[in-house]
Amino acid sequence: MHKSLIDQALQNGSGRNYDFRPMFDEIKGLISSADLAVCHLELPVIPKGEGMEPRYATPPQVIDALKYAGFDRCSTASNHALDRGAKGNDATIAAFKRNGMTEAGTSGGPGGLEPTVMDVGGIKVTHLSYTEVGGKPIPAGQPWRMAMASKPRILADVKRARELGAEYVIVSIHDADELAYTPTRNQSDWDTWLVEKAGVDLVVGTGSHVPEKEDADKSAFVLYGLGNLINWRLNARDSVIAKVSLYRDGSGKVLARAPELIPTFTVEKLGYQVLDARGFRTARFDPDVRQYLRDSLDRVKPYVGPFVPPLSR
């Protein structure tokens, strides 16, 4: 995590501890209203006794803030997940457990990557996470540390999830090129395969750090990249929150309505708060902030415009 965000969190905590929670205050209602709210955490938690350097990691209070914001679960498979090795992996899992959250994509022991089924409003849902992009090697003899994407593995996992009763299968896959607004051929190939061959109902791509053009039809959805919900980089502060609503048809089959994509923007002058970009007319924000939001909305609309719902009054 970049120093500017960590410094802001320390300031929020009056210099005594890290408090990332205020950064999520404005979108907490959006997230906590979901029956199942899922995020992607690309970095591990800093193990006890280690500092911010030399490899990427985040204070454990970030996960406290994710819980505060309303998230229930995170995908964690990525090229940075093992930057702090097994200790970082264990520290991350412990932080999730302490907050009553779960994760997919990394684990702390044998069997930890096996599919599970969650009851979400009466619908059986499985969420899986993989990375197609390599990073620090998985520790020898511990293949259960992280789920690398392979077609045989994914086919077996989806099959097992269906056997366990899953009616809707979500796959988070770390397969995007950084700062690319258009999906790559590799992304398109992978995500199309996940839907057409593996039978996945919803694909959520990660790693782009910016919103990408999305694809949806009546049978399955592919969200190639939603961006970073919170970011210090000026060229990567645009993001979208995806909302997918499930229902049963007359025969009892589980279907999904077209996704709603809610554009957001990280505002540095407000302490890196994440705001709903649709609120650019909100009177309580000063003119600069309203302009930031309007500019952000204009940037992402070419990619996600058809799925952006109007702002409720």
Q: How confident is the model at residue 276 (pLDDT cuts 50, 70, 90)?
A: very high
Q: What's the pLDDT at 269?
A: 95
Structure-block tokens of residue 171: 């796959």
Give the model confidence (pLDDT) of 179-232 as tens digits: 888 889 999 999 999 999 999 999 999 988 889 887 665 568 899 999 999 998
On the question of pLDDT at 104 being above 80, the answer is yes
String of b and e for 173-188 (b: at least 16 CB within 10 Å)? Answer: bbbbbeebbebeeebe
| Residue-averaged pLDDT of the chain | 93
Residue 28 has a pLDDT of 97
Give the three-state DSSP class for 93. helix
More confident of the two residues 44 and 233: 44
Q: Tokens 């965000």 sit at which residue?
A: 5
Q: What is the pLDDT of residues 279-308, one digit of tens each?
A: 999 989 999 999 999 999 999 999 888 899
Q: Which H, E and C letters describe the chain, residue by residue?
A: CCHHHHHHHHHHCCCCCCCCHHHHHHHHHHHHCCCCCEEECCCCECCCCCCCCCCCCECCHHHHHHHHHCCCEEECCCCCCCCCHHHHHHHHHHHHHHCCCEEECECCCCCCCCCCCEEECCEEEEEEEEECCCCCCCCCCCHHHECECCHHHHHHHHHHHHHCCCCEEEEEEECCCCCCCCCCHHHHHHHHHHHHCCCCCEEEEECCCCECCCEECCCCEEECCEECCCCCCHHHCEEEEEECCEEECCCCCEEECCCEEEEEEEEHHHCCEEEEHHHCCCCCCCHHHHHHHHHHHHHHHHHHHHHCCCCCC
Rg (CA), the chain: 19
Question: Quick check: pTM over 0.85?
Answer: yes
Model pLDDT for residues 45-60, shown as the tens digit of each residue: 999 988 877 678 999 9
Query: Residue 118 pLDDT more than 60?
Result: yes
Q: What's the pLDDT score for residue 216?
A: 61
Residue 25 scores a pLDDT above 90: yes
Least confident interval from 18-22, 39-43, 78-82, 303-307: 303-307
- Specify the residue for token string 């919803």: 202
The length of the chain in residues reads 313
Quick one: pLDDT band at residue 111, thresholds 50, 70, 90? Answer: very high
Write down all domains in the chain, each with its CATH number in brackets: 3-303 (3.60.21)
The predicted pLDDT at position 54 comes to 62
pLDDT exceeding 70 applies to what percent of the chain?
Answer: 98
* Residue 17 confidence (pLDDT) above 90: yes
